[in-house]
């Protein structure tokens, strides 16, 4: 019955009655900046945004008039007027982390629980939960509070073996604190988060284990904390147990009206529990450091709250799980320790994020999107993790609507092309058939694309394109994005080739015919754009001028390879982006991100590499330079603080593109050939150290590439005919060779 009510009229009347802005008129004006589309804003993103800014509103109430508290690193920086991270707050709707969105997950390759560690060692054990912090407090007065320290007083790094662990070292005034956090499963039992704490002080002090009602996004409510009589076990919100390893000498507690527990550490108290109706209860368990020494402490947190939701406990140790998961992966060997570390860290990131549903981040982006999943599946296949990739791909059909749309959120038009493309890549690179149910889903996806195309009579350069849609890739307001159409074209072409090889001629012909129509429509649309707007390149959409959103059109080159290397329009688009949308050597995305984007910078580097343009190396170095000390990239990087300013602080897509970049430096596919060694950086070749990558699946079979001086080894396990090798090692004469050989003698270019 309510659907028959005149809601728009009622809203307009109510707004007028109370002297407020008419929301109906406002929305209409906002939508005037975008092209008309079926879905103005995806409900999923509206919901996520509301939750995100709801926390920001809580932050606004809790933080700015309690700056005498100990807050997470990002707050201490962003609220400090003397720091470059400072953000004025006067007209901010909500207070959110815009300057240091950085964290590192520790976990297991088969368990979707992701405890986080922030840049100062703050530990958030549970998803979107409260945190643990570790302080040193001298009896004389000076304190070591990691979140308040300068950058030169803190060192953080990611330990890779035998399990990923984040080590954070802090120092100040003769106090030294070392905190190492990892996932553990004692005796193969239920996983726990373990933080080992080592501390020294030049004078008598206390080590404090503090429970904090906050995390890297801001406030997270703690209503109740209890301690047992021995002061060795704590419980938070009556659901999560913390084992301190041994009894504390004292426990201090405080609720919101009393202020932070850090303000009351000298207060005598025998309390064993604290309740806070506001949800900002705090606790500090104190351990004496009488002679400056301290027996290391192991703090264990029960993860049961997240285990039923995100996975089951196994029977093997975490180290055994990592050893088994990493065994088949392609290995990188180069003399650059930093880039090698970034590769190894990226492999572990993808293994963690693919433990269950394939998600692009452990926290803010802990949700499924086809876009991220498809692009992150490609390196998973290239690493040799075929079983894992097959499991993920087999789950795609359940997310398809009855109409054939692969839906992760309404209003986007890129997902069907992306699924077609990655499914084809899976078949070609692994030699395996599609998982059950996937082929049927792909045929429905083709039918959806056919039905969705605009009529050939559509105006404004949109004839035959996909409808205007929302761009979660942040290319701008709703529009007729070439990004969507290129994905449709590339996916159809790839899948048509697979169906043809499998003898499915009808499906192949249908996909090829539809691809022809898309290609013709795209070419006509691009050709119709006035030169004054296109500048010889490809804007984001038919009605757009050249701007940062044109980066979406670059997908035509990488990874889709729709045009040959060095296509003039592609290169003009790339030159425009490098001249107008670069900062600190990386692509700066003006749309939404307002930061340096690592994964899009690497995508542009791939285009340069494919075109034989040596500028690709500068982009690779720039991305390596802006990685965090733990080897991670946030979705977007603040141009001044170099901390995260957008999205998840550990972005899986960025890790994925680093893997593909390193792989393609050694071996990349160019239609029916393999290009060998074209991306080997000059500094890798200087001292003649052996270089190696592999084994990595390709469309021709599995291959390992090894360069030792002037001897090149290409060890393949080929399927079918051996491919042509285009050997393009910098400093040596190019060669065209058959892959039938294994070792090739290279000839140096004349000096």
360 pLDDT higher than 80: yes
Q: Tokens 């170099």 label which residue?
A: 642
Which tokens sit at 187?
């005796």
Cα–Cα distance measured from residue 714 to residue 636, given in angstroms and rounded to the nearest whole number: 37
Cα–Cα distance measured from residue 592 to residue 474, given in angstroms and rounded to the nearest whole number: 6
pLDDT at 496: 99
3-class secondary-structure state, position 716:
strand
Q: Is 556 exposed, middle or buried (0-12, 13-18, 19+ CB in 10 A)?
A: buried
Mean residue pLDDT of the chain comes to: 93
Q: Could you tell me the fold of the domain covering 104-310?
A: Beta-galactosidase; Chain A, domain 5 (2.70.98)
314 pLDDT higher than 70: no
Answer for the pair 229, 208: CB distance below 8 angstroms, yes or no: no
Cα–Cα distance measured from residue 465 to residue 54, given in angstroms and rounded to the nearest whole number: 38
The separation between the first and the last C-alpha atoms of the chain, rounded to the nearest angstrom, is 84
Every domain of the chain and the residues it spans: 1-31, 104-310, 412-552
CA 531 to chain centre: 36
Which tokens sit at 269?
């108290």
Rounded average pLDDT over 237-256: 97
Confidence of residue 24 (pLDDT cuts 50, 70, 90): low
* CB proximity list for 95: less than 8 A, separation 6 or greater: 56, 59, 60, 63, 64, 89, 218
Cα–Cα distance measured from residue 631 to residue 647, given in angstroms and rounded to the nearest whole number: 17
How many degrees, rounded to 5, is the angle at CA 597 between CA 596 and CA 599? 155
List residues bridging with 236 in a β-sheet.
225, 240
* CB proximity list for 93: less than 8 A, separation 6 or greater: 53, 56, 57
Rounded average pLDDT over 560-588: 98
Helices (H) and strands (E) in the chain, counts: 19, 33
pLDDT at 1: 47
498 pLDDT higher than 90: yes
311 pLDDT higher than 60: no
* Between 54 and 730, residue with greater pLDDT: 730
Q: Tokens 């003898």 label which residue?
A: 503
277 pLDDT higher than 60: yes
Answer for the pair 441, 12: CB distance below 8 angstroms, yes or no: no
Cα–Cα distance measured from residue 18 to residue 190, given in angstroms and rounded to the nearest whole number: 57
pLDDT at 403: 96
Give buried/exposed letters for 316-329 (b at 16+ CB in 10 A, else e). Answer: ebbeebbeebbeeb
Cα–Cα distance measured from residue 422 to residue 717, given in angstroms and rounded to the nearest whole number: 22
Cα–Cα distance measured from residue 102 to residue 117, given in angstroms and rounded to the nearest whole number: 9
Distances (CA, A) of 599 to 87, 589, 603, 666: 26, 11, 6, 19
Q: How many other C-beta atoms are found inside a 10 Å radius of the C-beta of residue 432?
A: 13
pLDDT in tens, 612-639: 999 999 999 999 999 999 999 999 999 9
Cα–Cα distance measured from residue 544 to residue 518, given in angstroms and rounded to the nearest whole number: 20
pLDDT at 27: 58
pLDDT at 495: 99
37 pLDDT higher than 60: no
> What phi-psi label fits residue 434: left (phi over 0), alpha (psi between -120 and 50 degrees) or beta?
beta
DSSP structure class, residue 558: T
Q: How many residues does the chain have?
A: 751
26 pLDDT higher than 60: no
DSSP structure class, residue 702: E
Confidence of residue 20 (pLDDT cuts 50, 70, 90): low
Query: What percent of the chain has pLDDT above 70?
Result: 93
* Between 741 and 334, residue with greater pLDDT: 334
Answer for the pair 220, 128: CB distance below 8 angstroms, yes or no: yes
Which pTM was predicted? 0.94
pLDDT at 678: 98
Distances (CA, A) of 240 to 187, 364, 392, 558: 21, 22, 31, 46
pLDDT in tens, 416-444: 999 999 999 999 999 999 999 999 999 99
Cα–Cα distance measured from residue 353 to residue 363, given in angstroms and rounded to the nearest whole number: 10
pLDDT at 171: 98
Rounded average pLDDT over 714-724: 93
Confidence of residue 720 (pLDDT cuts 50, 70, 90): confident
Which tokens sit at 29?
């004006």
Answer for the pair 602, 375: CB distance below 8 angstroms, yes or no: no
List residues bridging with 301 in a β-sheet.
193, 242
Q: Is 275 exposed, middle or buried (0-12, 13-18, 19+ CB in 10 A)?
A: exposed
206 pLDDT higher than 50: yes
380 pLDDT higher than 90: yes
Torsion of CA 151, 153, 159, 164, to 10 degrees: -70
539 pLDDT higher than 50: yes
292 pLDDT higher than 80: no
Is the Cα torsion angle 731, 732, 735, 741 positive or negative in sign?
A: negative
Rounded average pLDDT over 6-12: 63
Q: Which helix (H) or strand (E) holds 381?
A: helix 370-382
Phi, psi of 82 (to 5 degrees): -90, 0
3-class secondary-structure state, position 595:
strand
Is the Cα torsion angle 446, 447, 451, 452 positive or negative in sign?
A: negative
Distances (CA, A) of 215 to 117, 123, 459, 510: 9, 8, 50, 51
Cα–Cα distance measured from residue 317 to residue 298, given in angstroms and rounded to the nearest whole number: 18
Q: Is 745 exposed, middle or buried (0-12, 13-18, 19+ CB in 10 A)?
A: exposed
* CA neighbor of 676 nearest in space, from 704, 656, 652: 704
**DSSP secondary structure string, 248-292?**
-SEEEEE-GGG--GGG-TTS-----EEE-SSSB-EEEEEEEETTS
Cα–Cα distance measured from residue 165 to residue 235, given in angstroms and rounded to the nearest whole number: 24
């Amino acid at each position: 019955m309510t659907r028959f009510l005149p809601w728009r009229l009622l809203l307009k009347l109510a707004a007028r009655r109370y002297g407020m802005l008419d929301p109906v008129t406002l929305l209409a004006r906002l939508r005037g900046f975008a092209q008309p589309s079926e879905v103005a804003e995806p409900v999923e993103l509206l919901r996520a945004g509301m939750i995100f800014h709801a926390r920001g509103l809580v932050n606004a109430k809790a933080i700015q008039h309690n700056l005498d508290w100990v807050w997470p690193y990002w707050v201490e920086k962003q609220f400090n007027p003397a720091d470059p991270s400072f953000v004025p707050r006067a007209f901010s709707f909500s207070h959110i982390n815009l300057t240091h969105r950085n964290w590192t997950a520790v976990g297991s390759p088969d368990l979707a629980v992701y405890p986080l560690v922030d840049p100062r060692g703050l530990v958030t054990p549970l998803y979107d939960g409260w945190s643990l912090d570790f302080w040193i407090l001298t009896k004389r007065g000076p304190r070591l509070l990691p979140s308040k320290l300068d950058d030169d007083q803190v060192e953080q790094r990611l330990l890779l073996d035998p399990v990923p662990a984040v080590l954070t070292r802090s120092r100040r005034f003769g106090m030294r604190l070392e905190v190492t956090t990892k996932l553990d499963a004692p005796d193969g039992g239920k996983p726990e988060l373990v933080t080992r704490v080592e501390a020294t002080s030049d004078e008598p002090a206390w080590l404090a284990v503090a429970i904090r009602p906050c995390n890297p996004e801001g406030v997270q409510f703690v209503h109740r904390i209890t301690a047992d009589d021995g002061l060795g076990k704590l419980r938070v919100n009556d659901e999560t147990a913390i084992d301190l390893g041994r009894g504390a000498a004292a426990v201090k507690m405080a609720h919101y009206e009393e202020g932070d527990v850090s303000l009351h550490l000298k207060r005598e108290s025998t309390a064993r529990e604290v309740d806070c109706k506001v949800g900002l209860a705090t606790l500090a368990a104190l351990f004496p450091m009488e002679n400056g020494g301290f027996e290391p402490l192991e703090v264990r947190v029960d993860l049961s709250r997240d285990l039923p939701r995100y996975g089951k406990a196994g029977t093997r140790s975490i180290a055994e799980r990592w050893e088994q998961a990493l065994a088949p992966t392609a290995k990188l060997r180069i003399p650059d320790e930093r880039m090698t570390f970034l590769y190894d860290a990226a492999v572990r990131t993808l293994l963690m994020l693919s433990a269950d549903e394939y998600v692009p981040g452990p926290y803010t982006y802990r949700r499924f999107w086809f876009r991220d999943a498809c692009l992150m599946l490609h390196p998973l296949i290239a690493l040799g993790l075929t079983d894992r990739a097959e499991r993920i791909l087999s789950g795609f059909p359940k997310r398809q609507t009855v109409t054939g749309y692969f839906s992760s959120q309404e209003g986007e038009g890129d997902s069907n092309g992306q699924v077609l493309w990655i499914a084809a890549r899976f078949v070609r690179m692994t030699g395996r058939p599609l998982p059950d149910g996937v082929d049927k889903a792909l045929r429905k996806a083709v039918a959806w694309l056919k039905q969705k195309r605009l009529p050939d009579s559509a105006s404004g350069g949109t004839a035959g394109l996909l409808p205007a849609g929302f761009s979660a890739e942040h290319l701008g307001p709703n529009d007729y994005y070439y990004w969507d159409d290129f994905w449709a074209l590339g996916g159809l072409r790839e899948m048509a080739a697979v169906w043809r090889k499998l003898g499915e001629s009808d499906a192949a012909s249908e996909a090829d015919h539809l691809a022809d129509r898309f290609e013709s429509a795209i070419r006509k649309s691009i050709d119709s754009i006035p030169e004054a707007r296109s500048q010889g390149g490809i804007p984001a959409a038919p009605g757009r001028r050249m701007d940062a959103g044109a980066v979406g059109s670059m997908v035509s080159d990488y990874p889709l390879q729709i045009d040959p290397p060095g296509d003039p329009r592609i290169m003009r688009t790339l030159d425009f982006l490098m001249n107008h949308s670069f900062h600190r050597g990386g692509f700066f995305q003006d749309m939404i991100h307002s930061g340096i984007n690592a994964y899009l910078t690497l995508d542009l580097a791939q285009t340069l590499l494919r075109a034989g343009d040596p500028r690709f190396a500068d982009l690779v170095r720039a991305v390596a330079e802006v990685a965090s000390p733990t080897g991670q990239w946030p979705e977007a990087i603040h141009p001044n603080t170099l901390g995260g300013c957008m999205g998840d602080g550990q972005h899986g897509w960025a890790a994925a593109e680093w893997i593909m970049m390193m792989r393609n430096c050694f071996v990349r596919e160019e239609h029916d050939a393999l290009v060998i060694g074209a991306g080997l950086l000059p500094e890798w070749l200087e001292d003649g150290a052996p270089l190696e990558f592999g084994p990595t699946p390709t469309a021709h079979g599995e291959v390992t590439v090894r360069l030792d001086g002037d001897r090149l080894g290409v060890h393949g396990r080929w399927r079918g005919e051996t491919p042509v090798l285009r050997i393009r090692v910098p400093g040596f004469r190019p060669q065209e060779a058959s892959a039938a050989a294994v070792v090739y003698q290279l000839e140096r270019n004349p000096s």
